[in-house]
Each structure stands twice: as C-alpha cells, then as structure tokens.
Amino acid sequence: MTFSALAIYFKKLEGTPSRNTMTEILAQLFRQASKDEIGKICYLLQGRVVPLYEALEFGVADKFMIRAIAQAYGVEAPRVMKEFKKTGDLGIAAENCYHVSKHYNKQHVLSIYNSLYDLAKESGIGSQEKKITLLAELLQSVDALSARYIALIPLDKLRLGFSDMTMLDSLSWMLSGDKSHREELERAYNVRPDIGYIASAVKEHGISGLSHVKARVGAPILAALCQRIPTADEMIKKMCRRPDQSVGGRASSTEASGGEVAVEPKYDGVRCQIHFKHGEVKTFSRNLENTTAMFPELTEIAKELKANEVILDSEAIGVDPRTQKFIPFQETMTRKRKHNIEATRTSVPLKFYVFDILYKDGKDLLSEPLSARRKILEHTVRPGKILMLSPQIITSSAVELRQYHDEQLKIGLEGAVVKKWDSPYEPGRRNFSWVKFKEEEGKTGKLTDTIDAVIMGYSRGEGKRSGFGIGMFLVGVRKKDTFVTLTKIGTGVSDELWKDFHGQLEKIKAAKQPKEYVGVNKLFTPDVWVSPEIVVEIAGDDLTKSSTHGAGIAVRFPRLVRIRTDKSPGEVTTVKEIQSMFANQKQSHS
C-alpha cells in the first residue's frame, strides 16, 4: 500500500464526525492493508511508530518543522510561518507550501514508517540538524496531501479523533462485518494494550490469533480500577452475593469460596505495575506510561523476590523516615520531576505496597481468583526495605467492613479498597470486582468523591489573571468516544499554577473546536480550544441538574484539586458515572 493511499484515509477520517462511519472507514483500510502493513498502520493512525507504552518520542518542535518545510520546498521560513499563522496547523502549511520535487516517488507505507522510525531514534549531538534534513527529504519524496500528515506525525499533532476502542471495533468489522468480536478483542487488548500487535495477530490468524495474546514481562497490562458503591451495606450485598448462600457473618477461612471480600487500605500514592525479569526491572503507570526512571530503588528488589520473572501490581507511596507516616500523593509526585529523583530518594523514601500478582515464571495468573493469587503473592514477595505486602482482612460483614474503613481514615489514609475474593484480575473498571470506599455517601451531604475531567479550552483572565493569559478553563467528561462539558473552573488554582497551566495549554492549542467535543453550548465557548490531553481532578459542593452543560449535570462550587498526570483522557469520569453519583446524592438527601 502506498503512503498516498493511507493519506487519503487520514483525510476521510479527519473529516468525519460520526463514530460509526469512522469505524467503517478504518475497517476498509484494515482490509486493504497486508499482514505486514496493518500493525504499522495502526501506530501511524495513533501518530506514533511504536505502541503507546514505549517511550519513543519524535522530539520535533514547530520551529524545526518550519525549517524542514522551507528546506524541502525551497521557500523562505517566514513564508511557512505566514501559512502556519493562517490556520494554526503546520500540516496544512506544508501542503500549501508544497512544490513537486525531482525526488518525488510513490512511497510505500512501510518505507515512510521506517523513515519516521529512524527519525524518532535519532538522538545525541547534532540530532536536531539531522532530523531537519531527514524530514525535508521525506517531505520531498511524497505528494502534497501526504506531506500534510508527515508534518503532523513528528509534531505529535495528528489528531484523527478516535480512540483505540474504535480501532478494536474496526478490527471486528474487518473480520465479520459487525462488532461481534469486540469483546474478545478488548479482552486481548487489556492484556496487551498494543493495537498494532493485536491487529497483526488477527490479520494473520483470524480471531483465533488472539489465543497467542498472553501477559508478557515488559508489556504493561491494563490496570484493574475501582467502581463506586455508596455504602458498606450495598457493597456487601452486591459483592458477596452467592446463589447458594445468604449474606452475613465473618468468614472463617481465607480460601476461595466466593461470598467474601478482601479489604485493604487505600494508599494515596502512585500506581506502579512492576515487571521483573532476571534482575531487570521496568515499571508502568496506570495510563501505561513507562515510569522506570522514576523508581531507581526498584533495581534492588531481587533479594525481596522469590521468582525469576514476575509482574506485580502495587501502589508506591512516600514514607517519612522520622515519623514512619505516609506522605501524600502530591509530595510523592515531586519525584516525578526527573532531576529531583536522586535527591528525593533520601528525603522521600518510597515503599511499594504490593497487592496483586499477575504473572509468575511463565504462568499468566490473570484468570486465577484473587484468593489464589494472594497465596502465590505471599510465597513470592519477601517484604524488605522496598517491597511491602498490603495487609488485608477477609470478610462478608458490613459492620466489620465499615469498622476497618474507619480505622484507615483515622490513621490518615484515603479509605479502603474492597475486592471480591473469588474474582479474576479484571483490567479496567468492570464487574464491580474492586470498589473504592472513601466516605459513605450521605455522611456529610457533600460530594464524596472527586471527578476526573479533561480540559477542553481556556479563556483569558481579567484583572490580575490577565497577566497569566488564562483565568478560567472549561472541563468535560466522557460520553463514549466524545467529551461533553461539565463545568468551568476558576478557583483552587495558585498564581504559580495558572502560569504553569498557560504554558502547558499553549502547547496543545487546537486550531478549531476538536471534533470529539460535542454539543458545546455557546455560553461556554472558550477563547482557546485545546486538544483533549490534560486531566484534572476536581471537587465540588454537590451536583445539580443542568440544561446547558452537555453532561446534563453541573458541579456546584467547582475547584481544582490537582492535575492528574497519571491519567489519560480515556480514563476520565463518564457521564454515566456522574449520573450515578447524582442519583446517590439525591437518595442520601431524601
């Protein structure tokens, strides 16, 4: 397949707002691609050359791309700049400055992929100049439309407006002309969130190709997440239900029998999936980012493990060396600032509270019940200076559950996590296998949980804030593959943070309203739209019905709690979740 043919697909996808149409276009593309091409095409559709969890970035800034376009088409940089200013899109600027060159030739999609891969790999002294030359050559070798997309990919600005989930639907369409394989595909994707790998497997072997998809050390598994259930009684009712036994009483054994839950402290730290293989360690965050560089202490865990290869699920949390008390999330995250890692290693020593084991010495443990996984975990981890086993109780009593939860709050933790004792490891937020227990609904009459929302745009400030270039931002929640508005936020943000925000949002400024933002009321149109990339956690007094916000519900007195660098836009709170929070709130008020 030629890259020009792929560029035509890019253009069609960019121009369609309908998810169903996008699914069909993608399915058509997948059918046309060969088994060697499909995986790489999937990465290119994501604007990448490797799966999302591999930290290979292009590192090409606008100013370098402007030079590359100028060099490729023999025009002056100010001319490119002028075109860029017209639309705010360097891809269109490349297309408008395009001149056919003697180097033009019908490039195969794999050859463009290889050149882009080499470009991303280029590093070290003089690499910027080399990248400009490589890009200029690449731009000369293609037609105008291809040039548009080739310019956008290394800038990390190719936004075709669909998620990996749409690609999974399309793979199902490719196989059977409907979405009937979506669930199986998603199950495989949860174990190996590498859309290129999954696509190649089913292109080559059909749906049976998924049987090859197993957990593997080095490739992150999508993290299991918590659902919300408002009260301890309802948790027990929903999670301990057994067809053959009524609920009640404390369980006497820790064997898998169903009808029980494991209850653990909820640490306010950072999720950390630890991959260990013969002494080598890699870690991944909950949004699948490779975070290995953040945790140098893990290089020493071999002596705390009885395994050659293992994947552990844990929460990393700082512990004050003087008081032995936990240090909250924000401070733990100071380690994130790369240059501070060594310094904070002594001032904020980390412990990793391990609560699950997903793989050990060649055996994928995902479908084992939690009770069995816990046993294996206890035989694998030897708690020492770095690794700790998360404590837990096993119960089926609401009284005991509430008591344990209250104890956690008293010692300054966030609450408890409640897990079905007989459930397999279920990536994502599914089936009420894990539930978070922060504060019982109705206790304070306030919103008992925070909301994660994506920043959709911002408006310039007034008065003092006008100096920051931003005074308010608009946030939204998820509705399938789209985002709808929930609230505007102007409080809870320090001067320092406003400035920082402005810098971050400038980088992801969108030329027009992104097509994933649907039904935005004119009242909320921001001065500047941004692509859906930054996730913020917000708190509020309570939820109210709204006829103007797309979510149908708005937040009263919203304020910013923190930026969630560990969450991706696909993980923000959904409209469904907000509706259920609203229903619970109404119930507790009545």
Part in contact with ligand ATP (CB under 6 A); list of ranges 210-218, 223-231, 401-409, 499-507: 223-231
- If one asks whether residue 286 binds ligand ATP (CB under 6 A), the answer comes out as yes
- Residue 588's closest CA among 444, 439, 450, 437? 444
Which has the closest alpha carbon to 138: 121, 119, 157, 123?
119
Residue 267 in the binding site for ligand ATP (CB under 6 A): yes
- Comparison of 95 and 315: residue with beta carbon closer to ligand ATP: 315
Residue entry with tokens 């259930």: 229
CB closer to ligand ATP, 140 vs 573: 573
**Which of 142-150, 176-184, 263-271, 303-311 is the region at the interface with ligand ATP (rule: CB under 6 A)?**
263-271
Binds ligand ATP (CB under 6 A): choice among 271, 465, 478, 502: 271
266 near ligand ATP, judged by CB under 6 A = yes
89 near ligand ATP (CB under 6 A): no
Interatomic CA distance for residues 569 and 535, integer angstroms: 6
Q: Is 577 in the site for ligand ATP (CB under 6 A)?
A: no
Q: Minimum Å distance from CB 574 to ligand ATP? A: 12
List, in sequence order, the alpha helices (H) in 33-126: 38-45, 62-73, 77-87, 90-97, 109-121
In angstroms, what is the minimal distance from the CB of 392 to ligand ATP?
8
Alpha-carbon gap, residue 581 to 555, rounded angstroms: 11
* Least distance to ligand ATP, CB of residue 313, Å: 7
Strand partners, 517: 483
Cβ nearer to ligand ATP, comparing 128 with 450: 450
Instruction: Find the binder of ligand ATP among 95, 164, 315, 440 (CB under 6 A).
Output: 315
Residues 163-192 that bind ligand ATP (CB under 6 A): none
Q: How far apart are CA 561 and CA 451, in angstroms?
A: 10
Nearest distance in Å: CB 224, ligand ATP: 8
Q: How far apart are CA 39 and CA 33, in angstroms?
A: 9
What letter does residue 221 receive in the DSSP assignment?
Answer: P
Three-class SS state of 225: coil
Which three-class secondary structure state does DSSP give residue 48? Answer: coil
Q: Tell me the closest approach of the beta carbon of residue 434 to ligand ATP, in angstroms.
A: 7
Q: Report yes or no: 268 and 326 within 8 Å, Cβ to Cβ.
A: yes
Counting residues that bind ligand ATP (by CB under 6 A) gives: 15
Indicate the residue among 325 and 464 with the shorter CB distance to ligand ATP: 325
Count Cβ atoms below 10 Å from residue 385 Cβ, excluding itself. Answer: 12
Q: Using the rule CB under 6 A, is 355 a contact of ligand ATP?
A: yes
Binding string, residues 438-467; x marks residues near ligand ATP by CB under 6 A: ------------x-----------------
| Residues 229, 398 contacting (CB under 8 angstroms) | no
Q: Which is nearer to ligand ATP, 112 or 370 (CB)?
A: 370
Name the residue among 245, 284, 239, 280 with its Cα closest to residue 262. 239
Strands of 338-407 (E only): list them.
Answer: 350-360, 363-364, 387-389, 393-395
266 has catalytic annotation: yes
Q: Which of 155, 226, 302, 376 binds ligand ATP (CB under 6 A)?
A: 226
User: Whose structure tokens read 């394989």?
Assistant: 181
Taking CB under 6 A as the rule, does residue 157 contact ligand ATP?
no
404 binds ligand ATP (CB under 6 A): no
Q: Which residues pair with 428 in a beta bridge?
A: 224
Of the candidate residues 95, 264, 368, 516, the single one contacting ligand ATP (CB under 6 A): 264
| Residue 96 Cβ vs ligand ATP, minimum distance, rounded to whole Å | 44
Q: Which is nearer to ligand ATP, 224 or 554 (CB)?
A: 224
Query: Of the two residues 266 and 515, which places its CB atom closer to ligand ATP in the complex?
Result: 266
- 295 is an interface residue for ligand ATP by CB under 6 A: no
Strand pairing partners for 200?
Answer: none
- The least CB distance from residue 220 to ligand ATP, in Å, is 13
Query: Residue 147's closest CA among 510, 13, 155, 514?
Result: 155
Contact by Cβ (8 Å): 67, 134? no
d(CA 406, CA 400): 10
Q: Which of 336, 339, 342, 340 is nearest to 316 (CA)?
A: 336
Q: Interface with ligand ATP includes 390 (CB under 6 A)?
A: yes
CB of 286 to ligand ATP, least distance (A): 5
Site string for ligand ATP, 466-495 (x = CB under 6 A): ------------------------------
CB of 262 to ligand ATP, least distance (A): 9
* Region of 28-36, 70-78, 152-160, 265-273 interacting with ligand ATP (CB under 6 A): 265-273
Burial class (CB in 10 A: 0-12, 13-18, 19+), 439: middle
Cβ proximity to ligand ATP, 161 vs 476, nearer residue: 476
What character string, x for contact with ligand ATP (CB under 6 A) and - otherwise, covers 412-441? -----x------------------x-----
Rounded Cα–Cα distance for residues 240 and 74 (Å): 71
168, 70 Cβ separation under 8 angstroms: no
Binding to ligand ATP by residue 400, rule CB under 6 A? Answer: no
**Catalytic residue (choose from 131, 157, 203, 266):** 266
The answer to whether residues 238 and 432 touch, using CB atoms and an 8 Å cutoff, is yes
| In the complex, least distance from residue 563 CB atom to ligand ATP, rounded to whole angstroms | 13
CB atoms within 10 A of CB 71: 18
Task: Give the C-alpha separation, 250 to 4, whole Å.
Answer: 66
Residue 367 half-sphere exposure toward CB, CA atoms < 13 A: 6
- 30 in contact with ligand ATP (CB under 6 A): no
**Which residues are designated catalytic?**
266
Binding site for ligand ATP (CB under 6 A): 223, 225-226, 264-267, 271, 286, 315, 355, 390, 417, 436, 450
